[in-house]
């Protein structure tokens, strides 16, 4: 497995584009529409928000992913989420697919749609329609095409998020690429974001779906920026089979190679979302080890990574381990507080701060040094069994409040 | 029922004091130890944190409340929580009870203990012991005694929180008074705070306990400042029976009169904690009406009141109702997003912002006017049944982050 440059256009046969359509305002530097296109038909898998309030494009994609045997394109806009928009919003979503299909000479049922942004507003359809028409001639197989698309799906993200890997399967070079966006309303329970992963690996729809659903649990669903599960969360995985490998139709070695690469892509994207959480100055990783079970480890990890007090302490580079132990305690997972050990870890080193539920003999100065890095890990050793889990979040900062007190203006 | 001045010393026979013992530092303006004392023996009820990590005084009080037929005093310190302090912390807690008992010439088993502040540090026992000895001569039945105690239990609270009511029971004037402190690690699941309620009403321990446990569900447990359930949450209710009413031993009219007054006290204190949440500029009330059941209404109300994005929008006086609908959606309570109505309400008026799951025709200017008050209510009409619930929280502000990024320094 080899990391290569690029994102969704890295695999063979995928084109992409991103442009400014004016949905996010008149600043032409702000791209707000993206398209991904594969001339060869793709099989597609998708995972979606568990929020009962689902945006129109989520409902659309759920239907398309389930019923359409092949997919050719994804159309996406940022700025307006098309959520809580009723029948009118559903119609607009379908219109987006329709316009895209006409422009690309494909079927409406072969177009997936994604939207992200403000809830409750209707899409500016004139701009959207023009945007779609302008996207088609911009489609490019180059890295730039994928990069423009990665820029266009951003909302409060500060950086685009792209990644690609090459793997050898049966002597053929296969590629898998991805992009995603955060960075608010991010909380475990489906990814709470938009993620698009493309690959030229030949694989059955059933196994593509199974691989995505399984891997999401350990990656996107372990990310939390603010505990708010969005109405629009979507991860789509498209495979056009152009790599020419022997089609993967069973769980053989090839399948597990593919899964490993998919996992690397998803972990990278998940961590990118966490580290670029709204207003974040640090990626905060929580590792639970030796829990009674994996399920218990997941519960404990999510509880710590979502604790506002812990997140604020990370922002302050303050080794306030009491808040971590407290968050473990209210997680509903049963454990023995009196035997827990806790460590802080970063590029600057590793330090034990809690031993058997009480303060270990550590230097506050050294702890602050470790906590001053851009990626900080808390390791909680529950000393109960073999279950482990990792969750990713970020610190809680003044900037988070600024962004969200005034998002719509 | 009549609101009167004062707090825990308002009922007959209760004395209190608060002073500076130096636990919170050398600033002598900062009181950090409080004592409540009743010469007549009291029956006591208590409710405690559900966090598995329980501070030493929580463990102590649970035992005392259950096993001791009578109580005479409560000793409380702020600054150090005596949580995650192991056997040494448990010993210090017992020493606090012991010293208090000796100073007041009562039994150790008649003393309840409460601590609040930093987790993981051991109590400075020399200061604590001296503090206890100095508190006894300061005990006073005056309102000042209660007020000093209310000041001494504060941590990041900006104002002391006291209340008292008089009621007539069987021709006798009975009094009930209370004080409490917040204001971080505040989240439903037992009160996440310290609350002390005193009364001279004569009532059996069984009914006192039942009344408290029932009322806590609709009051303290419906408060959330930051979603973090503390290790130290405690509400204690002491009754010395000095009012001379016919002892309440069954659920008669007198019992319900008492419960009504207790509810008024608890609602007042709960709202005070929410409105004085760390860094808060506004009390944020969430009312769910016409839910399928009360249980469902509680789930929905708590989900909205704890949503970071909604809380930040309240800070920004931004009618970002999409975040409210989103928080209802991920609450796990089933409902129909397409029929929900949402209103904002405050002293400045009431406005419908969502009708049947979509934006109502309202003025943003008017909405901002309503949201600019110090107490703001969101009313969500689920149109499903007769269940209702109210939760209290506060906005999420820059100041919250400042306080918690650097709490220990």
pLDDT at position A142, please? 96
Which has more confidence, B312 or B102?
B102
**Measured between CB atoms, does A196 come within 8 Å of chain B?**
no
Exactly one of A9, A47, A156, A192 is catalytic; which is it? A192
* Torsions phi, psi for B171 (to 5 deg): 80, -5
Chain A segment 111-150 residues within 8 A of B by beta carbon are 118-121
Residues 6+ apart with CB under 8 A from A357: A325, A336, A337, A338, A339, A340, B53, B84, B86
A109, A237, A373 from A17: Cα distances, Å? 21, 18, 35
All residues of chain B having their beta carbon less than 8 Å from the beta carbon of residue A53 are: 325-326, 328-329, 337, 357
The helix-helix angle for B253-275 and B205-218 (nearest 10°) equals 40
Chain A segment 378-397 residues within 8 A of B by beta carbon are 396-397
Q: Distance (Å, rounded) from C-alpha B118 to C-alpha B159?
A: 19
Q: Which residues of chain A have pLDDT under 50?
A: 188-191, 409
All residues of chain B having their beta carbon less than 8 Å from the beta carbon of residue A86 are: 338, 356-358
Is B409's pLDDT higher than 70? no
Closest CA relative to residue A132, chosen from A76, A55, A195, A197? A76
**Measured between CB atoms, does B204 come within 8 Å of chain A?**
no
Contact between residue B223 and residue B270 where contact means Cβ atoms under 8 Å apart: yes
Q: Is A284 helix (H, G, I), strand (E, B) or coil?
A: strand
Inter-chain CB pairs, A–B, below 8 Å: 210
Cβ of B316 and A231 within 8 Å? no
pLDDT at position A187, please? 54
The yes-or-no answer on residue A192 being catalytic is: yes
A60-100 pLDDT tens trace:
999 999 999 999 999 999 999 999 999 999 999 999 999 99
State mean pLDDT over B185-195.
Answer: 58
User: In this predicted structure, which of A187-196, A327-336, B76-85, B135-144 has the lowest mean pLDDT?
Assistant: A187-196
The helix-helix angle for B321-329 and B308-315 (nearest 10°) equals 160
All residues of chain A having their beta carbon less than 8 Å from the beta carbon of residue B338 are: 86
Which residues, listed in sequence order, are joined to residue A3 by a DSSP beta bridge? A165
Helix residue ranges, H only, B276-395: 294-305, 308-315, 321-329, 364-371
Closest CA relative to residue A168, chosen from A245, A272, A87? A245
% of chain B residues with pLDDT over 90: 78
Contact between residue B72 and residue B111 where contact means Cβ atoms under 8 Å apart: yes
DSSP designation for B356: T
Cβ of B326 and A226 within 8 Å? no
Closest CA relative to residue A175, chosen from A196, A199, A195, A197? A199
Is B190's pLDDT higher than 60? no
% of chain B residues with pLDDT over 70: 96
- Strands A14-19 and A33-48 turn out to be antiparallel
Cβ of A306 and B227 within 8 Å? yes
Chain B segment 46-105 residues within 8 A of A by beta carbon are 50-54, 81, 83-86
**Measured between CB atoms, does B227 come within 8 Å of chain A?**
yes
Exactly one of B47, B192, B231, B310 is catalytic; which is it? B192
- Taking the mean position of all CA atoms in its chain, how far away is CA B367? 30
Of A81, A357, A408, the CB nearest to B318: A408
Chain A segment 345-374 residues within 8 A of B by beta carbon are 354, 356-359
All residues of chain A having their beta carbon less than 8 Å from the beta carbon of residue B409 are: 318
pLDDT at position B191, please? 36
B296-307 pLDDT tens trace:
999 999 999 988
Q: Distance (Å, rounded) from C-alpha B78 to C-alpha B114?
A: 9
pLDDT at position B394, please? 92
Beta strands in A102-160 (DSSP E): 111-118
- Residue A273 Cα, gap to closest chain B Cα (Å): 17
DSSP designation for B119: S
Q: Distance (Å, rounded) from C-alpha B352 to C-alpha B379?
A: 9
Closest CA relative to residue B57, chosen from B108, B17, B112, B11? B112
Q: Distance (Å, rounded) from C-alpha A157 to C-alpha A151?
A: 9
Of A184, A323, A359, the CB nearest to B309: A184
Of A229, A329, A404, the CB nearest to B312: A404
- Strands A234-239 and A194-199 turn out to be parallel
All residues of chain B having their beta carbon less than 8 Å from the beta carbon of residue A313 are: 404-405, 407
Cβ of B227 and A227 within 8 Å? yes
Is B395's pLDDT higher than 60? yes
b/e per residue B143-169 (b: at least 16 CB within 10 A)? bebbbbbbbbbbbbbeebbbbbbbbeb
Cβ of A231 and B326 within 8 Å? yes
Which residues, listed in sequence order, are joined to residue B179 by a DSSP beta bridge? B162, B196
Is B84's pLDDT higher than 50? yes
pLDDT at position A290, please? 98
Q: Distance (Å, rounded) from C-alpha A58 to C-alpha A119?
A: 13
Report yes or no for ipTM above 0.85: no
Q: What is the mean pLDDT of chain B?
A: 92
- Residue B409 Cα, gap to closest chain A Cα (Å): 9
**Measured between CB atoms, does A156 come within 8 Å of chain B?**
no
Q: Distance (Å, rounded) from C-alpha A81 to C-alpha A307?
A: 27
Which has more confidence, B406 or A168?
A168
Is B189's pLDDT higher than 60? no
B315-350 pLDDT tens trace:
999 888 988 998 999 888 999 999 999 999 999 999
- Residue B97 Cα, gap to closest chain A Cα (Å): 23
B220-261 pLDDT tens trace:
888 876 666 778 889 999 999 999 999 999 999 999 999 999
Is B179's pLDDT higher than 80? yes
Peptide bond into A293 cis (omega under 30): no
- Residue A119 Cα, gap to closest chain B Cα (Å): 5
Q: Distance (Å, rounded) from C-alpha A158 to C-alpha A163?
A: 16
Contact between residue A314 and residue A282 where contact means Cβ atoms under 8 Å apart: yes
**Measured between CB atoms, does B407 come within 8 Å of chain A?**
yes
pLDDT at position B408, please? 52
Of B226, B309, B354, the CB nearest to A228: B309
All residues of chain A having their beta carbon less than 8 Å from the beta carbon of residue B404 are: 308-309, 312-313, 316, 396
Beta strands in B49-182 (DSSP E): 71-80, 111-118, 161-169, 172-181
All residues of chain B having their beta carbon less than 8 Å from the beta carbon of residue A327 are: 228
All residues of chain A having their beta carbon less than 8 Å from the beta carbon of residue B185 are: 309, 323, 326
Cβ of A84 and B337 within 8 Å? yes
């Amino acid at each position: 497995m080899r990391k290569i440059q690029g994102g969704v256009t890295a695999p063979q046969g995928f084109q992409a584009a991103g442009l400014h359509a004016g949905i996010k305002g008149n600043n032409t530097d702000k791209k707000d529409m993206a398209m991904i296109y594969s001339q060869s038909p793709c099989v597609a898998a998708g995972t979606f928000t568990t929020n009962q309030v689902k945006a129109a494009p989520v409902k659309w994609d759920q239907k398309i992913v389930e019923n359409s045997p092949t997919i050719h394109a994804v159309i996406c806009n940022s700025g307006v989420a098309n959520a809580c928009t009723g029948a009118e919003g559903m119609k607009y979503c379908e219109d987006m697919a329709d316009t895209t299909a006409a422009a690309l000479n494909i079927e409406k049922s072969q177009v997936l749609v994604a939207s992200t942004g403000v809830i409750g507003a209707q899409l500016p359809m004139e701009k959207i329609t023009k945007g779609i028409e302008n996207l088609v001639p911009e489609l490019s197989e180059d890295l730039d095409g994928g990069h423009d698309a990665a820029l266009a799906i951003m909302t409060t993200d500060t950086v685009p998020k792209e990644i690609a890997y090459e793997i050898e399967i049966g002597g053929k070079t296969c590629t898998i690429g991805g992009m995603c966006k955060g960075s608010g309303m991010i909380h475990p329970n489906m990814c709470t974001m938009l993620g698009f992963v493309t690959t030229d690996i030949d694989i059955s729809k059933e196994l593509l779906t199974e691989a995505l659903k399984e891997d999401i649990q350990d990656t996107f669903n372990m990310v939390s920026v603010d505990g708010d599960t969005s109405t629009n969360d979507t991860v789509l995985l498209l495979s056009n089979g152009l790599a020419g490998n022997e089609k993967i139709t069973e769980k053989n070695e090839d399948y597990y190679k593919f899964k490993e690469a998919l996992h690397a892509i998803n972990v990278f994207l998940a961590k990118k979302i966490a580290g670029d959480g709204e207003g974040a100055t640090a990626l905060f990783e929580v590792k639970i080890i030796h829990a009674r079970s994996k399920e218990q480890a997941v519960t404990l990890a999510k509880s710590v990574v979502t604790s506002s007090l812990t997140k604020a302490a990370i922002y302050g580079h303050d080794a306030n381990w009491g808040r971590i132990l407290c968050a473990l305690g209210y997680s509903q997972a049963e454990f023995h507080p009196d035997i827990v050990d806790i460590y802080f870890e970063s590029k600057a080193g590793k330090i034990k701060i809690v031993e058997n539920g009480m303060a270990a003999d550590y230097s506050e100065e050294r702890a602050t040094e470790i906590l001053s890095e851009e990626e900080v890990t808390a390791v909680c050793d529950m000393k109960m069994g073999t279950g482990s889990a990792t969750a990713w979040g970020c610190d809680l900062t003044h900037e988070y409040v600024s962004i969200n007190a005034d998002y719509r203006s």
